[in-house]
Amino acid sequence: MRYLVAIVCAAILAATAGCGQSAYPSSPSPVSAPTAGTFDYDDDYPTPPDPYDPYPPPPPGPPAPAPAALVVAPAYGATAGGTPVTITGSGFAPGTTVMFGAAPATAVAVVDAATITAMTPGSANGWIDVVVTVPGGATLSLPGGFTYADPTAPDATATITIMPTGNSPKAVLIAAGSRVRLVNSDARPHDLESDPHPVHSDCPEANGAGLLTPGGSAMTGAFMTPRTCGIHDHNDPDNPAWMSRIVIR
């Protein structure tokens, strides 16, 4: 009998809004909007499950997976462009485009739904956002995800000069084991320290130069571990003019 009811209900379900419900749209209940001072019984006594309901609501499934975070490897390259990179994420499909800042990547190849290979376009020294757009318009972005920096000349010390208009260059590329010279050519003191402000814990090697008075210079500690270190002016920590990156390879 229950089987027959299920079949009949399925037929009704296909033709109407549901089974066990009126086929006519219900009109708003005149008591659905409680007025101030009335007692709302429903809030205190939730409707119990109906043991005879042939179509109980399905149990909640696992939450939809969040899009995988973009990763660009390597995360740095030459300002001239032409650096082959592998981008990992999710939802990639043929027709996906990749932007490095304002310029499109070249030779974009979708290897699979989670992997893209591409060549970087050229850019000014510094860092840019990487944005991947899949057919249909969904985008994944990695703010500041790629750093453009060229190797320091052999036998030279990578130097970041604090100019009145900001740090120059914005990014330097050094070999593991090297130090960076910080020069203050501004008219006021600056104190460049490792991110994040205020704890400066990402790259303690960057904290060695300390406060630089106008005309002063000092060396950081030696950066031993390949990674990218951000620095900022501890006395003006949100000002992008005093932010730089040191890429250790």
List interacting residues with Cu ion (CB under 5 A): 193, 197-198, 234, 237
- For Cu ion, the closer of residues 171 and 192 by Cβ is 192
- For Cu ion, the closer of residues 129 and 195 by Cβ is 195
Smallest gap from residue 209 Cβ to Cu ion (A): 13
Smallest gap from residue 220 Cβ to Cu ion (A): 15
- For Cu ion, the closer of residues 148 and 233 by Cβ is 233
- For Cu ion, the closer of residues 179 and 190 by Cβ is 190
Smallest gap from residue 204 Cβ to Cu ion (A): 13
Smallest gap from residue 140 Cβ to Cu ion (A): 30
Smallest gap from residue 246 Cβ to Cu ion (A): 15
- For Cu ion, the closer of residues 123 and 207 by Cβ is 207
Place of tokens 């549901």: 18
